Amino acid sequence: MSFQSLRDYLEHLRSERQIFVVDRLINKDTELMPLVRCQYRGLEESERRPFLFTQVTDAKKRTYESAVLVGALGASKQIYARALGCGVEEIREKWNQAIVNPIEPILVKDAKAPVHEEVYTGDAIQQVGLDEFPIPISTPGFDPAPFITCVNWVTKDPETGIPNLGNYRAMVKGRDKLGILLNPTQHVGIHWSKHRERGLPLEAAIVIGGPPSVSMAAVAKVAYGLNEYAVGGGLMGRPVELVPCKTVNLEVPSEAEIVLEGEITTTEKEPEGPFGEFSGFMGARGSRPYFKIKCITHRKRPIFQVFISQFPPSESTKIRGIANEAAYYDALKNKCNCPFVLDVVFHEAGGAGQNFVVIKIKKRLQANPWQALRAAASLDSGFGKIFIAVDEDVDPNDLQAIVWALCWRMQPHRDMEVIQGRVSTLDPSSAPPEAPDEEQIYPGVKGNSALLIDATRKWDYAPVSLPKRDYMERALEIWREEGLPTLKLREPWYGYTLGPWPSDLEHEAELAVRGDYYETGRKLEEQKITIEPSERN
């Protein structure tokens, strides 16, 4: 199952009763996002659901035709899988196939494309513009304005014409004006720099409520020059259908809910932010370009889709983490000559990989961990602060297992390396808040840094101190027969060897489970020695 539109997906969620629908009047400025936040602070991940708010007001008592949809893609891993139309266990393979075998979008000439059901330009933008939409305040009490968060920016490289889709926050500054958090290392930043060198503004379109796969592709760290529309098509298993914009030379999904067309300034900047970020802290205010809206198109009674970000875990960290795990796994395994990489995991508390990346490998050479660690750190100079390589028997999703590996499989003086020359992305530890923007991005001397850790075994170890697998499996049978609470087993959940283990010790263990441990006692008695008087003290 794949979804060409957000509405198709929403209907699926409703039919499966996988969405919380709130029909009471909700204030978008003070009530809406705090209500959604409650589930991230009080429910297990498997219990989280998207929220649909059907009646929305604001602090000025205005009402809106649009409903607000939050958490539709990343309320949980289970919801993410639903949006992809697959099982949870199939997510990684679906992403791998989409990156390796993208499906190019197709341009449809549809004068009645759903996204063009209503078109506004000129005076309509000045008089109403963004006031038409119920844009929530994400962090009431700290955010200085509403921000569009599920905001898929479409821009083009002026040399190749290849589009980029990226998700970068947009601060509401006026009916026809938005701020943008534009980082120079991001792909939109590269497009912006190329247009600035040419003395031209950067044409852009903002897609809100596009096909689920397009929104998922927009947050992924795919290679520069890879069309995210094609990745979205690979996720869907069919091409994304696009239509030309009305006022800019760009294409957008024909069944998107809302599109904002316009230009990003390349000659002017002004203050933008702060905003509650995925790091768990308020992002800093900085001097950044802005976006002037020339045209707004949307479906009738559009659905305003929102990502919930801020303190982890959140929808933002979930969708970013899953997408970027797949992108980094593909890059390391298939493009960086690291076939020994088994998995890549970005942990939510670290901003979905922004700061905490774990790479699981099947080590054949002592150099393998360092090859993978350095390759991962080189993929993006602003992505990743702590990179950890672990053995194949360590679950990279389980922080307890990772701490176990760190404590017992590495020595800090030998197995850690700090690299410099990194840039900062919303990291409050980089520089004090009063520092200038360039210092925030690249502090002196030599910028930010990252820590590489080889937490793999360097030689054979004694067995893991848990009962062997057959005994644990029998215990699980009894557990189920007794109707005890459902278990979520952590790896390792049974004992195994990590190198040669003496055969006499294996034999003694077999005697013990047969009840013949006295035989071992008698054998050991034969090996007793006398303690000399000089040794007794």
**Predicted confidence (pLDDT) per residue in 351-368, tens digit:** 655 689 999 999 999 999
Q: Give the per-residue pLDDT at 352.
A: 57
pLDDT at 488: 84
Q: Which of 148, 188, 384 is nearest to 288 (CA)?
A: 188
**Rounded average pLDDT over 253-275:** 94
Residue keyed to tokens 């990252």 = 450
Q: Which residues pair with 306 in a beta bridge?
A: 70
CA atoms within 13 A on the CB side of 529: 5
Q: Which two tokens stand for residue 424?
A: 């900062």
pTM of the full predicted structure? 0.80
Q: Which CATH class is domain 336-454?
A: alpha beta
pLDDT tier at 349, thresholds 50, 70, 90:
confident
3-state secondary structure (DSSP) of residue 195: helix
How many other CB atoms sit within 10 Å of the CB of residue 5?
22
Q: Tell me how far apart the alpha carbons of residues 398 and 417 are, in angstroms, rounded to a whole number.
A: 23
How sure is the predictor about 531, in pLDDT bands with cuts at 50, 70 and 90? Answer: confident
Q: Which amino acid type is present at position 509?
A: A
Structural domain spans, the chain: 89-300, 336-454, 469-529
Token digits of residue 326: 């797949």
Candidate ranges 81-90, 435-444, 461-470; pick with highest mean pLDDT: 81-90
**What pLDDT score was predicted for residue 46?**
87
What does the block give as tokens for 189? 């930043």
- Residue 44 pLDDT level (bands cut at 50, 70, 90): confident
528 or 386, higher pLDDT: 386
Greater pLDDT, 489 or 49: 49
Q: What does the pLDDT read at residue 294?
A: 97
The string of pLDDT tens digits covering residues 465-475 is 888 889 889 88
Distance CA 402, CA 107 (A): 47
Q: What is the dihedral of CA 484, 485, 487, 488, to 10 degrees?
A: 180
Average pLDDT over residues 396-416: 94
- What single-letter amino acid sits at 156? K
pLDDT above 90 (res 237): yes
CA–CA gap between residue 535 and residue 370 (Å, rounded)? 48
189-207 mean pLDDT: 96
pLDDT exceeds 60 at position 152: yes
* Mean pLDDT across 240-259: 97
Mean pLDDT, the chain, rounded, equals 90
For residue 388, pLDDT over 80 is answered with yes
Among the residue ranges 88-92, 123-127, 491-495, the one predicted with the least confidence is 491-495
CATH architecture observed for domain 89-300 = Roll (2.30)
Q: Is 368 left (phi over 0), alpha (psi -120 to 50) or beta?
A: alpha
Cis peptide before 445 (omega within 30 of 0): yes
Beta strands in 266-401 (DSSP E): 270-272, 286-288, 290-298, 303-306, 341-346, 356-361, 386-390
**Sorting pLDDT into bands at 50, 70 and 90, what band is 535?**
low
Q: Are 3 and 296 in contact (CB under 8 A)?
A: no
Give the CA count within 13 Å in the CB-facing half-sphere of 335: 14
Residue 536 half-sphere exposure toward CB, CA atoms < 13 A: 5
Neighbouring CB atoms inside 10 A of 91's CB total 19
Residue type, 197: E
Lowest mean pLDDT among 109-118, 132-141, 239-248, 484-493: 484-493
How large is the average pLDDT for residues 493-499?
88
* 89-300 shares its CATH topology with 336-454: no
Q: Which one is predicted more confidently, 278 or 384?
A: 384
Mean of pLDDT values over 264-280:
86
Per DSSP bridges, beta strands 270-272 and 67-70 are unpaired
Percent of the chain at pLDDT exceeding 70: 98
Q: Bigger pLDDT: 513 or 140?
A: 140
Q: Quick count: other Cβ atoms within 10 Å of Cβ 260?
A: 28
Lowest mean pLDDT among 66-70, 96-100, 311-315: 311-315
At which residue do the structure tokens 């390589």 appear?
A: 389
Q: Which residue has the tokens 């970013």?
A: 320
Band (190; pLDDT cuts 50, 70, 90): very high
- Rounded Cα gap, residues 203 and 45, in angstroms: 39
Alpha helices by DSSP H, 409-513:
412-415, 437-441, 469-481, 503-513
Interhelix angle 315-330/91-100, rounded to 10 degrees, is: 60
Query: What single DSSP character describes residue 305?
Result: E
